[in-house]
Chain A
Amino acid sequence: MTDTTNTEPAAPPRSQWYDVWHQFKAHKGALLGGIIFLIIVFGVFLGPLLWPYDATYIDIRSRNQGPSLAHPFGTDQLGRDLLARMMAGGQTSIAVGLTAMLLALGLGSFVGIIAGFFKKLDGPLMRLTDLFLALPILPLLLVMMMLFREPLSAAVGPERGIFILIVIAIGITSWMPTARIVRGDVLALKEREFVLAARSIGTSNKNMITRHILPNVLSPIMVSATLGIANAIITESALSFLGLGFPPDFPTWGRLLNDAVQYLQDYPERVFWPGLAISLTVLSVNYLGDGLRDALDPRIRGR
């Protein structure tokens, strides 16, 4: 029964995304994480436009300098400005993180939705996921880097070749958690009335997936996207750190950390910046994911 005597204007209707944003704002850590991540991304992509030094410019006379006004992070053993190298390295690391995450997410969502939606494919696809989960990821990544580095570098150039290789290697070894979560959600969704209603008016499988299933599994996909970025950045840095990532003169955060470790005894402060950049990015992305998980869960929202 609606009360018709009440003429006071009700609160304006709110969209779902407004609610999500409202809940997200309440999680201070997530908000801070999101802001820090945006600052880092803008910093590394727009910073080089403002900063006078080039990441590969060698000035051998000013090598091994400590922090100064001209070089806030100091210079390395060849006199290259470390702030410029940090920004160039960040571009690569974040680009690898985002692309590898998109690949893993695409693969994972595809497998998850197909496995959840088509009963016949469920068994085989989930066995495949289990098999992939049982693979030793880091040793296999190292092996893949060793094997395909030369042929790919020869085919498309050293930097682009390694980029493609790292992205594909990380992508095909980290899609499994997304697939499992998405499959679980799709299985639950399939039993809901709106799916039955859509089915009863003759919706085809393709429309069913793109219009009804996919929008409803977006929230777990978004949460695993944030975790995927963090995972991909750490993996790329680990590979570069072990010397099996990008070529030596090509800066990434892991590579800079590896270079700094070799001068650990003489210039210990050099380890700090690349390590801090990796950790801060991953930490902010993890907090972002934590907040998104809460914000996108309608059971928690509004509390």
Chain B
Amino acid sequence: MLTFTIRRLILAIPTLLFISLVIFLLLELAPGDPMAQVPLTVPPEVKEKMRLALGLGEPGYIRFYKWLVQFFWVEPQVLFDHMFGTTFSEGKLRIISWQHRGPVMDVVVERLPQTLWVVGMSYIVGILIALPIGIYSAYKQYSIFDQAGTFITMIGYSIPPFFTGPLVIVLFSVNLGWFPFIYDTTHEVVDWDSFVYQLRQMIMPVMVLALQTTAQISRYMRASMLDNLNQDYVRTARAKGLSERVVVMVHVLRNSMIPVVTVIALGLPAIFGGAIITEQVFSVNGIGAQLIGAIQANDLPTVQTLTFMFAFLIVFFNLIADVLYGILDPRIRYD
């Protein structure tokens, strides 16, 4: 198992390098000019110097190498310094956003909590709703509950978040006035009332994202439970007189969770992608909104860094899913 994990880790390095190269080459073709905003009165030679100061004078492969060094070497050092008060990163150049003229990572660190709160909460809520639905609809296969569950998950698959978002806004904000329409990111939780407000403004985005999660995971849970319910060990467990509750909730459930856990790990990066749209609908000021803003402002270093972070999440969670599968299921041995 350890050798497998190490092999997968080593294999992830070329994958990540390839992805960063693809993103870099795509952005190389960008027609936008970061100097477009500079007033026309600035003389061309000054403009040329400003361009050089942004690091645009050098050939592509050197800029790619510099970006790699900044992302994988300088930024972790900054993080390390920040955590332990050391000074490894002093004087080293970080990835600078063209939009804010400051380090990209500083903005990411500001925005990330909003995204993590909404996305993380929605994923947990989605899983908590999905698992009981999946278990019960498998246990009562083809019952009315199962049919309704299938229909609802089909709807969850089919209705995109950019429709459910406005729909719940119309229903709960415009007509009923229960929840606020725009997510207030400056809101701080200090006492009970502000906590309730935070909860109220989070309900709608979390529910919209959770619907998608629920649809997928309850399908997998149901299929996995159905696979296990007809196994011999279930009959044995019933034959030795275990209660139905113990048979289903302990014996079957534990075995059925093996593939579902990996699906949960695999689905997490996709949820970050979906959050881009949900953040736009509810005006949540997270990294999805940062990416859209950077794309519209032609801020290439930010776009590259954020896109690569999304890719990194995907590769990382794929790896976790593979390793988890091997650990949880003793029948699977990769070596």
By a CB distance below 8 angstroms, the chain B residues around A242 are: 276-277, 280, 292
With A137-B273, A275-B167 in contact, do A147 and B29 touch (Cβ < 8 Å)? Answer: yes
By a CB distance below 8 angstroms, the chain B residues around A38 are: none
Q: How many residues of B contact A (CB 8 A)?
A: 45
With A135-B22, A278-B160 in contact, do A286 and B154 touch (Cβ < 8 Å)? Answer: yes
Contact of B119 with A by CB under 8 A: no
With A241-B162, A264-B166, A286-B154 in contact, do A139 and B307 touch (Cβ < 8 Å)? Answer: yes
With A134-B314, A139-B306, A257-B166 in contact, do A287 and B277 touch (Cβ < 8 Å)? Answer: no
Specify the main secondary structure of chain A where it touches its partner: helix
Count chain B CB atoms within 10 A of each CB in A138, A140, A144, A282 and give the residue with the most: A138
Q: Between A and B, how many residue pairs show CB distances below 8 Å? A: 119
State which of A65-73, A189-197, A215-223, A230-238 sits at the interface with chain B: A230-238
Specify the main secondary structure of chain B where it touches its partner: helix
Q: How many residues of A contact B (CB 8 A)?
A: 41
* B 292-320 binary contact with A (CB < 8 Å = 1; else 0): 10011010000100110011011100100
Question: Which residues of A139-182 have CB atoms within 8 Å of chain B's CB atoms?
Answer: 139-140, 142-144, 146-148, 150-151
Is there contact, CB below 8 Å, between A286 and B158? yes
By a CB distance below 8 angstroms, the chain B residues around A151 are: 31
By a CB distance below 8 angstroms, the chain B residues around A271 are: 163, 166-167, 170
By a CB distance below 8 angstroms, the chain A residues around B22 are: 135
By a CB distance below 8 angstroms, the chain B residues around A278 are: 159-160, 163
Question: Which residues of B147-163 have CB atoms within 8 Å of chain A's CB atoms?
Answer: 154-155, 157-160, 162-163
By a CB distance below 8 angstroms, the chain B residues around A238 are: 160, 162, 277
Contact of A265 with B by CB under 8 A: yes
Contact of A131 with B by CB under 8 A: yes
By a CB distance below 8 angstroms, the chain A residues around B298 are: 146
In the assembled complex, the CB of A196 is this many whole angstroms from the nearest CB of chain B, namely 32
With A131-B15, A138-B276, A238-B277 in contact, do A257 and B162 touch (Cβ < 8 Å)? Answer: yes
With A242-B292, A264-B170, A275-B167 in contact, do A143 and B154 touch (Cβ < 8 Å)? Answer: no
With A136-B314, A275-B163 in contact, do A144 and B276 touch (Cβ < 8 Å)? Answer: no
In the assembled complex, the CB of B63 is this many whole angstroms from the nearest CB of chain A, namely 17
By a CB distance below 8 angstroms, the chain A residues around B269 are: 136
Is there contact, CB below 8 Å, between B307 and A275? no
With A140-B26, A144-B26 in contact, do A135 and B158 touch (Cβ < 8 Å)? Answer: no
Question: Which residues of A264-301 have CB atoms within 8 Å of chain B's CB atoms?
Answer: 264-265, 268, 271-272, 275-276, 278-279, 282-283, 286-287
8 A-B contact pairs sorted by A residue (CB < 8 Å) = A135-B314, A136-B313, A142-B276, A144-B26, A147-B27, A241-B162, A244-B295, A264-B169
